[in-house]
C-alpha cells in the first residue's frame, strides 16, 4: 500500500511545521502499526504537544470509527469516521483508511498516514517538545545497522504474520510460516546475549518488534495459524517481550481486549463466527523476566516516562492482570 508521504518537520518543508497543539494523532489500540505511534509519543513525552484520538477496535469496509467517544464523535475533530479527515484533503482518496494518521486540527485534514516515517519524525523533528529525559530512539551512530534490523523485522515478522494469516493456498501459507519462524529463531539468537535489539538501550527497533510480539499468542498463533510455538514457548523472546511490557510506555499502552476484538471480528473471512476467544491467560506478562541480568540501560542517558494521562489509561478490561 502507498501511504501519504507528507511529513511534519521542524523546517516545515512540506507545509506542515512542527507546532505544539496543532496536530492530532488518530490511533487504534488494536492495530500494531498504530500502537507503535502511541508508544513513541508516550516515551518521548509528546502528550502535551500532540493530542490523541482513539478509534474503536473494529471498523467496517469504509473506515475506522470513533465508537469510544460520546455520541461516536471525536471530540476535537467532530468526525464520526476517520475517513472524513482523508476526504477533507483528498476528496477521491482511493486507498484504505488506515491508522495511525495525523490530522491538522486547524482544518480537519489528514496530514500523513505513513506509519514508518511518522515515528522516526516524532524522534527527530519534534525534539523541541520532547520531555526532559526522553530516550534517543533512533541514535545516529546505530542507524545503518538499525535500518537493516528493522527492515528484516518488518518484512519477516510484522508483515510475516499477515502473510500466514491471509495466505490463499496451502503452499503460500507454508512458505510464509517457514519464513516467519526462521526470523523468530534469528531474533531468539540475537537477543540471547543483548538486552535489546540494538544493545543496551531501547530503540525504535524494539518498539516495532514489540507490537507484533504482544499480539502473537492472543491472535497470530491461532487466528493466523502461526502455531509452531507460542511466544510463551520461545524462552528468549518471551523474556524480552515481558521486559518491554513491564517498561512504562509498552504494557500500559497495550489493550488485549481491543486487540482480540479487532482481529476476530473484522476478519470475518478467516473467522466467520466472529467469536472472540476468552484466552490466553495474561498473568504471565507480569512475571519476572530476569533480563536485567544482561545489564543495559533501558532509557540510555534518559529516564522512564511518567504515568499515562488519566484519559489515556488502558481500561481494566484490556489490561494484563494486576500483579
Question: Catalytic site residues?
Answer: 31, 162
- The DSSP H or E segment spanning 213 is helix 204-215
Q: How many residues does the chain have?
A: 323
Q: What angle do CA 291, 293, 295 make, to 5 degrees?
A: 95
The per-residue DSSP string of 97-149 comes to --SSEEEETTTTEEEE--HHHHHHHHHHT-GGGPPTT---SS-GGGHHHHHHH
- The DSSP H or E segment spanning 183 is helix 170-191
- Separation between Cα atoms, residue 198 and residue 242, nearest integer Å: 17
Q: Which residue(s) pair with 64 in the sheet?
A: 59
Contact 209, 265 (CB under 8 A): no
CA–CA distances in Å: residue 279 to residues 116, 282, 285 = 31, 8, 13
Phi, psi of 34 (to 5 degrees): -75, -35
- Which strands sit side by side in the sheet containing 51-54, from one edge to the other? 51-54, 23-27, 101-104, 109-112
Is the bond preceding 26 in cis, omega lying within 30 degrees of 0?
no
Amino acid at each position: 500500500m502507498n501511504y501519504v508521504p507528507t511529513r511534519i518537520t521542524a523546517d516545515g518543508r512540506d507545509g506542515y511545521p512542527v507546532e505544539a497543539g496543532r496536530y492530532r494523532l488518530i490511533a487504534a489500540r488494536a492495530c500494531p502499526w498504530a500502537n507503535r505511534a502511541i508508544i513513541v509519543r508516550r516515551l518521548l513525552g509528546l502528550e502535551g504537544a500532540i493530542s490523541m484520538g482513539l478509534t474503536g477496535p473494529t471498523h467496517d469496509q469504509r473506515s475506522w470509527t470513533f465508537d469510544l467517544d460520546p455520541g461516536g464523535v471525536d471530540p476535537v475533530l467532530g468526525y464520526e469516521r476517520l475517513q472524513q479527515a482523508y476526504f477533507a484533503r483528498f476528496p477521491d482518496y482511493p486507498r484504505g483508511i488506515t491508522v495511525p494518521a495525523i490530522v491538522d486540527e486547524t482544518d480537519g485534514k489528514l496530514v500523513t498516514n505513513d506509519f514508518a516515517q511518522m515515528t522516526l519524525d516524532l524522534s527527530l523533528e519534534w525534539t523541541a517538545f520532547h520531555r526532559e529525559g526522553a530516550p534517543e530512539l533512533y541514535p545516529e551512530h546505530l542507524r545503518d545497522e538499525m535500518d537493516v534490523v528493522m527492515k528484516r523485522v518488518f518484512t519477516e515478522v510484522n508483515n510475516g504474520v499477515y502473510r500466514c494469516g491471509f495466505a490463499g493456498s496451502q503452499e503460500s501459507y507454508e512458505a510464509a510460516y517457514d519464513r516467519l519462524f526462521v526470523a523468530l529463531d534469528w531474533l531468539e539468537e540475537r537477543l540471547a546475549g543483548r538486552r535489546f535489539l540494538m544493545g543496551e538501550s531501547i530503540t525504535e527497533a524494539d518498539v516495532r518488534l514489540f507490537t507484533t510480539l504482544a499480539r502473537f499468542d492472543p491472535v497470530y498463533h491461532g487466528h493466523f495459524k502461526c502455531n509452531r510455538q507460542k511466544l510463551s514457548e520461545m524462552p528468549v523472546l518471551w523474556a524480552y517481550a515481558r521486559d518491554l511490557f513491564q517498561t512504562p510506555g509498552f504494557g500500559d499502552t497495550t489493550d488485549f481486549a481491543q486487540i482480540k476484538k479487532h482481529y476476530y471480528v473484522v476478519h470475518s473471512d478467516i473467522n466467520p463466527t466472529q467469536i472472540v476467544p476468552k484466552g490466553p491467560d495474561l498473568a504471565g506478562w507480569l512475571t519476572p523476566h530476569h533480563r536485567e541480568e544482561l545489564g543495559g540501560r533501558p532509557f540510555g542517558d534518559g529516564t522512564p516516562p511518567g504515568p499515562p494521562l488519566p484519559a489515556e489509561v488502558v481500561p481494566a478490561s484490556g489490561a494484563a492482570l494486576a500483579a
